[in-house]
Amino acid sequence: MSHAEPELAIASTATPEGPFDRPGSLLAAIVESSDDAIVSKDLNGIVTSWNDAACRIFGYTAEEMIGQTILRIIPPGLEAEEAAILERIREGMRIEPFETRRLRKDGCMVEVWVTISPVKDAAGRIIGAAKIARDLSERKRIEQRLIRSEKLAVQGQMAANVTHQINSPLETITNLVYLARLSSPPAEKAYAYLLSAEGELDRVAQLIRRILGHYHQTVSEQQIYLHDLVDEFLAVYRPKLHACGIAVDCRYEDRRPVTVNGTRFAGFFSNLLSSVPKVMSRGGILGVQVRESQDAAQDGVEVAIRLRANGPQENLLESALETLLARDGGDEGWTSAQPLFEEYGPAIACKTLKDRDAAITFFVPFT
């Protein structure tokens, strides 16, 4: 079966003449240099042209697609969509641009914005359709990021409000417990109980201070020793980690401070340490190493976090990152490490060493 060439001579290969010596080749050059996939097909859905952007977006070369059915890039379940499009094109009806999904050669889905126009021959008969598909993946990613940051901002605001409500009673309780302890003879059990209660209240107070600190992301950059931050958070979370059967192994070998936005790192550590018990539900070892970079090309501090779970743990690293990035909007989600990842993204390396062993490393330069 031969396929009529569309009126718009969309070429997938360079013409033998000069690039722009006739209108058709100029048009072909425009099509080829477009960032949008521009393909044409006949009324049976057989591909008749396929530009470079189509190769990039869908993964198939022109040779692989021309003469083949367009159904190759239609995901299972959406075949009816293509049939309806062809039906409307045959009837000469207009098709409003729409958003849909297409299947790449590698099996991944790609979100696209599709515009379809009928192609007519010299006599005005409809002989096929030209389809322009714009890759929406990047836009979707930005949208997702925006939604996430807005969600985090709202959660942060809520957490800050709740914190304010908690502060006053917490201050009163702290004062009352202190006064009660001063009023108890030190030899009595009540004194020891009240002392423990003060310790626990102090933990709550530290968390509250952190939350208020996170809310105020505007805190300027400061010089800090990263191990001081780690230590501060371990003081708060260590009892919980121990209770969950997680041993903590810290090694601090950084001798110089770094200039960073402390609250961002505070958010990262707070999120990390609070998520470790969820990630390693059967217990394990949390290793935190803060050291000056071993790589001569990188002058800075390296923080290596190692999670070693007791017993096999599926997707350990994915769970850790998921919780760290708070994609699930968990209860500590608002203290997300997202701003940190955005700032230091390229310097963050994550790898799963074994099924029960994962490592997250990031690097902060001394500037």
Partner 1 sequence: MIGKQRTSPVVPIDQVPPADTSPYRPVVLVVDDESAIADTVTEILSRSGYAAMTAYDANDALEMALLTPPELLLTDVVLPGMSGIELAITIKRIFPDCKILLFSGQASTLDLLASAKNDGHHFTLLTKPVHPEELLARVAGSLKHRETHAGATAG
> Any contact of residue 263 with partner 1 (CB under 8 A)?
no
Of the pair 19, 186, the CB lying nearest partner 1 is at: 186
According to the binding rule CB under 8 A, does residue 251 interact with partner 1? no
- Is 153 a binding residue for partner 1 by CB under 8 A? The answer is no
Buried b (16+ CB within 10 A) or exposed e, 277-310: bebbeebbbbbbbbbebeeeeeebbbbbbbbbbe
In DSSP terms, which residues pair with 349 in a beta bridge? 361
Q: Which one, 202 or 331, has the nearer CB to partner 1?
A: 202
Which residues face 287 on adjacent strands? 249, 306
* Nearer to partner 1 among residue 1 and residue 187 (C-beta): 187
Q: Taking CB under 8 A as the rule, does residue 176 contact partner 1?
A: yes
Query: Which range, of 58-66, 188-196, 212-220, 241-249, touches partner 1 by CB under 8 A?
Result: 212-220
- Applying CB under 8 A, the span of 2-10, 167-175, 271-279, 296-304 interacting with partner 1 comes to 167-175
C-beta of residue 38 within 8 angstroms of C-beta of residue 134: no
CB closer to partner 1, 159 vs 260: 159
Task: Count CB-CB contacts under 10 A for residue 217.
Answer: 13
Residue among 51 and 163 whose Cβ is closer to partner 1? 163
175 touches partner 1 (CB under 8 A): yes
> In angstroms, rounded to a whole number, what is the distance separating the alpha carbons of residues 353 and 351?
6
160 sits in the region (left: phi over 0; alpha: psi -120 to 50; else beta) called: alpha
In the complex, minimum distance from the CB of residue 309 to partner 1, in angstroms, rounded to a whole number: 36
Q: Does 164 bind partner 1 (CB under 8 A)?
A: yes
Length of the chain: 367
312-331 mask for partner 1 (x: CB under 8 A)? --------------------
β-strands 37-42, 47-50 pairing? antiparallel
Residue in the structure block whose two tokens are 């701003």: 339
Q: Which of 308, 233, 242 is nearest to 263 (CA)?
A: 233
Residue 203 found at the interface with partner 1 (CB under 8 A): no
Name residue 60's amino acid: Y
304 near partner 1 (CB under 8 A)? no
CB-CB neighbours of 31 under 10 Å: 24
The binder of partner 1 chosen from 8, 95, 126, 170 (CB under 8 A): 170
Binding site for partner 1 (CB under 8 A): 160, 163-164, 167-168, 170-172, 174-176, 178-179, 182-183, 198, 201-202, 204-205, 208-209, 212, 215-216
